[in-house]
Structure 1
Amino acid sequence: MHGCDGRNIHNLTERRKLGFFSCGTGNPIDDCWRCDPNWHKRRKRLAECGIGFGRNAVGGRDGRFYVVTDHTDDDPVYPKPGTLRHAVIQDRPLWIVFKRDMVIKLKQELIMNSFKTIDGRGANVHIANGGCITIQFVTNVIIHGLHIHDCKPTGNAMVRNSPSHFGWRTMADGDAISIFGSSHIWVDHNSLSNCADGLVDAVMGSTAITISNNHFTHHNEVMLLGHSDSYTRDKQMQVTITYNHFGKGLIQRMP
């Protein structure tokens, strides 16, 4: 895929050693991959490290690597190859990594397609000051190692969600990560703060979700699991929340 010929993917972020942060601590997710000094050569092993109800989320494990090389988001309908938006809308499984540190300001919400991993390990990647991540009516998504903050309401615009389809989006609330009618989702090791609405909202029958090892700070309504007592499909919702750090400046919904 864009920016990657299959030979250099393991060396893109080798410079940033992550193993020393936590290995052998008893956290089963971290111990699964951080104890491996060559984790960067076996990135997709992360998909074997999930626990809880979202443990079967494989993300883009069975696809190719896609290297994000461009931080821009100039056109949400016709995204440029090399951008994060171009990566997440593809119809095939992809394991998405980043060539370098970057701050991504999205013009509109980032609408994920199924069987995607966004893997920020080894780079300092911020999604900030614009739209953020929407996981809607899809399956098998892993979001790992991102800084997501200062998300704004977006919408009343056309946005692409696959190579063959784009459509009109009404106003999005400004969640950091919105999970809507989706399953087999794993949100792990992200830093989330200061967004217009929720940090992680899972609604409309979403299930088979794990929210783990995230750092939440400086926010009012942190997390929402199910949007209405009258919505019967939420009765089957299964969500694991584990090893998260609910930090400074939080007010409510934890969860």
Structure 2
Amino acid sequence: MVHRAWAATAVLAATIAVSAFAVGRADAATLLSDDFADGNSAGWSTSGGSWSVSAQAYRQSSTGADAKAQAGATVWTDYTVRARVQPLAFGNSTRAAGVTARAQNMTSFYALVLTGGGTAQLRRVSGGGVTVLASAPVPVSTGTWYTLALWVNGSQLSGAVDGVTVVSATDATFAAGRVGLVASYTSAVFDDVTVDGGPGTPPSPSASAPPSPSASPRPSPSASPSPSASASPSPSASPSRPPSPSPSTSPGPVPPNQADGFAGVNALGQNGTYGGVGGPTVVVDTTEELLTAIDTIGPMIIQVQGAITIDSKRGVRPNKTIIGLGSTATINGGGFDFYRSYNVIVRNLTFTNAEDDAVNVGQNSHHVWIDHNRFVAPVDGSIDIVRGAEYVTVSWNHFDHTDKSMLIGHSDGSGSEDIGHLKVTVHHNFFDHSRQRHPRVRWGDPVHVYNNYFLGNELYGVASTQNAGVLLEGNYFENVPYPCFSASGYADSGPGRLVQRNNVFVASGPCEVSGTVADPGAHYSYIVAAPGTVPATVTSGAGPGRL
């Protein structure tokens, strides 16, 4: 039951906001208390997931949605929100459940969460983008109850698990807002939610992690069996095509250390892209070790040390993270090939002198994240995404004087295998005097190209052909004679569709636009930074050694 004086919410909350700094006790005022014993969720608003009250607790039963529930007043400032939380099934090790504070809306708030990977994280979520402010290892088991407390006082934030403070940070983004519960691609049960007004005192920090949680302090409020952690949602149908996608123009934070864009979408049995999480970590510094590792069945995190020479394109099996150590890890002479592969991350590597493509994502591969790499002098393409591949994100890479940078859709005659696929996000890449294909697209819709820096691209920037649909927004073009092709096609390829919005063109030609494009925002949340900030942001952040 929620105990509150809603008729006087604004007056009470304003009084608390004014008087909170003069109160030194955590119990200065109870703003909200809900034990769900009345069998309903009156006063709570929800977004995503499947929420219900059963067995005197609040249950979110889906692992296929970023689910939130919120209550309280937007003028609440300094307080502690507490709740008992029982994770039932995590979509993967990065998914999370917990409590939120100072919520502006369903996509902007502070959160204290437990993750499937065994961490407590203090997060700032802004426009759907996640920044981890602090993190600590914590034993996390499904089916076990934990008491989480998130304390906010001015710019000071602290999070406690079972009475022990494990994470703290300073952040002044949100000064006031509602409280809430979050179950991000995680099924969970919540109970005994309380909000105490006034700054109070957070639990004393402990040098050690909190003790392993005990069994439920009261019978688990499970009205139905817990879903399996490996259960995956069915892919959603393609969205209808609006005349123009809805803009998202607020400056965004540095990308979180997880796949975003299309690689972060739940589809085709995958809950985003998380690579080799859950498998062993190996360090490779020879050709034999690398080729053995990428051909191993099962999840694995492969750390590349130094320069390794391979030939041709070498196949990579599913569920792998291939990541360079430091800033000098190099793959020379060859590249990686994905054939019906999935859930692979390629990060922090330099690819040099590939005798074919450096990275080829092909033959119905999906959920691949290519991030913070550098491409130098491949004989053919730096990155090809072809033959029905989809749910790929290419982010924060440096294409250093390459010729053919990125091809999406390999042939004018491949429509039968490519239409409805080739969903790709391309953001924050530095196309540094690379000649063409940034990208060149056939058939794919939507291909989302945002906040990239195009500098001195001799032939052209982006080409949308063969009825592809490209959304181009918040990019910065400098000394690019032909930034965009679409209505006229390109070379022997027929016309495509291209919507451009809020791009900057300096000493560059006009951008050719045509038609409408499907909205990537129907698939995932994103934030477009002001295009004038892109050159500095991208040149300082793209490429290896800058994770």
Give the TM-score, by structure 2 length: 0.32
- Contact 1:47 / 1:57 at 8 angstroms: preserved in 2? no
Deviations 1:30-76 (A, max 9, x none): x746x6699xxxxxxx99621110111121012111221x32x3xxx
Letter in 1 for 2:329: V
Residue from 335, 339, 344 that aligns with 1:141: 344
Q: Distance in 1 between matches of 2:258 and 2:317?
A: 22
What residue is the counterpart of 2:357 in the other structure?
Answer: 175
Which 5+ residue runs of structure 1 have no aligned equivalent? 1-23, 39-45, 74-78, 153-173
Letter in 1 for 2:321: T
What residue is the counterpart of 1:105 in the other structure?
Answer: 309
The structure with the greater share of residues assigned to strand is 2
1:122 matched to 2:326: yes
Q: CA deviation at 1:124?
A: 1.9
Which structure has the bigger radius of gyration? 2
Residue from 406, 417, 425 that aligns with 1:233: 417
Q: CA deviation at 1:144?
A: 0.5
Residue from 429, 436, 439 that aligns with 1:244: 429
Which 5+ residue runs of structure 2 have no aligned equivalent? 1-123, 137-254, 265-271, 440-547
- Contact 2:275 / 2:301 at 8 angstroms: preserved in 1? yes
Displaced runs of 4 or more, over 3 A: 35-38
Residue from 262, 267, 276 that aligns with 1:60: 276
| Cα-Cα RMSD | 2.7
Q: Secondary structure at the match of 1:199?
A: strand
1:189 matched to 2:405: no
Residue from 48, 51, 68 that aligns with 2:260: 51
Q: Distance in 2 between matches of 1:37 and 1:124?
A: 27
- Contact 2:311 / 2:335 at 8 angstroms: preserved in 1? no
- Contact 1:59 / 1:140 at 8 angstroms: preserved in 2? yes
Q: Distance in 2 between matches of 1:107 and 1:219?
A: 19
Q: Secondary structure at the match of 1:49?
A: coil
Q: Distance in 1 between matches of 2:134 and 2:338?
A: 30
Give the TM-score, by structure 1 length: 0.67
Number of aligned residues: 188
What residue is the counterpart of 1:84 in the other structure?
Answer: 290
Q: Distance in 2 between matches of 1:144 and 1:65?
A: 15
What residue is the counterpart of 2:302 in the other structure?
Answer: 96
Letter in 1 for 2:412: D
- Contact 2:258 / 2:274 at 8 angstroms: preserved in 1? no
The structure with the greater share of residues assigned to helix is 1
1:151 matched to 2:365: no
- Contact 1:57 / 1:185 at 8 angstroms: preserved in 2? yes
Letter in 1 for 2:317: N
Cα distance change, pair 235–190 in 1 and its aligned pair in 2 (3 A) = same
